Amino acid sequence: MDLKQFIQRDETCWEIPAKGAMRVPAIIYADASLLQAMDQKVHEQICNVAALPGIVEAAYAMPDAHWGYGFPIGGVGAFDADQGGVISAGGVGFDISCGVRTLHTGLTMNDLQGVKKDLADELYRTVPAGVGSRGRIHLNHDEMRAMLTGGAQWAVDQGFGEARDLEFTEERGRVDGAEPRDVSPRARERQKDEMGTLGSGNHYLEVQRVVEIFDQEVAEAYRLKIDAIVISIHCGSRGLGHQIGTEFLKDMALAASQYHIALPDRELACAPLNSPLGKRYLGAMRAGINCALANRQIITHLTRQAMNEIFPGISIDLLYDVSHNTCKQERHIVGGVTQTVFVHRKGATRAFGPGHPDLPTEYQSVGQPVLIGGSMGTSSYILCGTKQAEQRSFSSACHGAGRAMSRRQATKQWHGRALVDQLAEQGILIRSPSLRGVAEEAPAAYKDVSAVVDSADKAGLAKKVARLEPVICIKG
C-alpha cells in the first residue's frame, strides 16, 4: 500500500482524512512495513466503513488488518443508534463471537517429557475437529433455546465446567438480549450436533509453553511464569453463526433502499440499529455469541477430561476467554461525552484497560487479558488492555497474525504432510483430519505475528505481557 495516501500521525498511526462520502476519518494502526504490505483493498474497505450512517469518531483498522467481507478483518467501527447508526452483519463476520480461551495447567515443559505424543493423541480423540465435525452432544428444540440464551452459563449448569470459569469469561459467559426466535430453523439445525467442536479453517486447540515475559507485574496477576504450560482454544459459533450471517446479509442488502441507505459496497449491507431488521439481527447475533461461549466452555470440559487421562487429578483453571467477531453495546467517550455506542469488532479483540467494571476483580489493577493467536507453528501472545486504547480505538486491539495470502494460494505453495513433518522436527506435534487444511494454515501464509503485536504495543492498543510457543496443535 502506498504510504502517500495517508497522513502519518505518529510511528504507528496513519490517517485517511474524511472525503467524498466518508462521514469520519479512517485510521490504520501499524508500522510502516506492515502498512506497506497490506492489500490496497484494506484502504478501500475502511474508507467505506467510514461512510456508513451513524458512525462516530473514526473507522479503525488494526495492525493485522486484511481484506474481508464488507469490513476489513481487523476493522472497528462504533455507531450511535440515536443518530441513525447501523449494524452490519459484514462488520461482525460469519463466525460470530469467534474467540480465544486460554487455560492454566500448572504443568511445566518437563512434565510433558515422555507423554507429549500420548497427550496429543488423547486431545485429538477427545475434541472433535474438522469440516462438519460433530460432537457427542445433541440438542433438542428446548435445549437449543436454553443454550442460545444461556451461553457458557448454560454449559456449566449442564455439567460442562465449573462456576468459577464464568468469572474469567467475557460477559460472565452470557450476553443479554439474545433472541432465539430470530435464529432460523436452518441455523439451529446446523448447530444441533456441533456443540463442543473446533470446526475447521484457522481454528485450533494448542498446548503452549510460556517462553518470554515482557511485563512481570501483569504476568503475576495473570499467573504466568516462564516454562509454564497453558492451553489455548480458538473457535466460534460454528454453523449457526455462519448461517445467521448469510441470511441477514441477504436481508440487509434487500432492505437497504427501504432504509434509504446508499451502500458503498453491497458487502457492507446493514440496517439501522433501531429498525425491526436491525433489532432482529442484534437478537440473533447475541444468540450466536452465546453459542460460541457455550461451545468454548464445552471444549474446555473435554480438554479437562483429556488432560486427566494423562495427568490424573490435574486442576485446570481459566485465565480468560475473549471474542473477536462481535458487535457490543458499550459506553465510550465520543466528542468528550460518555455515551452508548454499538462497537463492531471484526477480527479485533476487545481490550479494556485497568479499572473497567466488566473485568474480574483479579485483573482490575492491570487490565483485560488480550489473547493473540499466531499462525500454526509460530508464537502466540498474551497482551493486556490499556487506558489509552479507550481513546484510540474504542478499547480494541488486534486478534492474530492476519493472513498474508489466500488459502488457495497457500495450498499451491505447501503440502500438508511436509509441513507436519517439518514442524515435528521442531518439536511441534500437529494432529488434524485434513492435510489440505494444514497446508491452508501454513505459517508463512500469515503475517509475522511478532510485528503485529509490536505495532499494537507501540500504538497503545494493548501492552505485551508474554510470548508463548506451540508444543501440540489440534487443527480443524
Q: Is 202 annotated as a binding residue?
A: yes
Q: Is 373 annotated as a binding residue?
A: yes
C-alpha to C-alpha distance for 249 and 385, rounded to whole angstroms:
31
C-alpha to C-alpha distance for 321 and 104, rounded to whole angstroms:
12
Distant-in-sequence, close-in-space partners of 36: CB < 8 Å, separation ≥ 6: 1, 3
DSSP secondary structure, 335-395, as one string = TTEEEEEEEEEES-EE---TT-TTS-GGGTTT--EEEEB-STTS-EEEEEE-HHHHHHSSS
Burial of residue 211 (number of CB atoms within 10 Å: 0-12, 13-18, 19+):
middle
Q: Is 68 annotated as a binding residue?
A: no
Q: Is 325 annotated as a binding residue?
A: yes
Q: Is 437 annotated as a binding residue?
A: no
* Residues composing the chain: 476
Active-site annotation holder among 301, 344, 356, 399: 399
Q: Is 415 annotated as a binding residue?
A: no
Q: Is 375 annotated as a binding residue?
A: yes
Q: Is 141 annotated as a binding residue?
A: no
Q: Is 324 annotated as a binding residue?
A: yes
Whether 401 and 447 have beta carbons less than 8 Å apart is answered as: yes
Q: Is 152 annotated as a binding residue?
A: no
The half-sphere exposure of 61 on its side-chain side, counting CA atoms within 13 A, is 35
> Do β-strands 462-475 and 429-431 pair in parallel, antiparallel, or remain unpaired?
parallel
Q: Is 308 annotated as a binding residue?
A: no
Q: Is 242 annotated as a binding residue?
A: no
Q: Is 399 a catalytic residue?
A: yes
Whether 293 and 237 have beta carbons less than 8 Å apart is answered as: no
Residue 141 carries which side chain, given as an amino acid letter?
A: H
Q: Is 203 annotated as a binding residue?
A: yes
Q: Is 200 annotated as a binding residue?
A: no
Q: Is 405 annotated as a binding residue?
A: no
C-alpha to C-alpha distance for 122 and 273, rounded to whole angstroms:
46
DSSP secondary structure, 396-431, as one string = EE--B--BSS-HHHHHHH--HHHHHHHHHHTT-EEE
Task: Cite the annotated binding site by residue number.
Answer: 95, 202-206, 234, 324-325, 373-376, 380, 399-402, 475
Task: Cite the annotated binding site for Mn(2+) by residue number.
Answer: 95, 203, 234, 324
Q: Which residue numbers are catalytic?
A: 399
Task: Cite the annotated binding site for GMP by residue number.
Answer: 202-206, 324-325, 373-376, 380, 399-402, 475
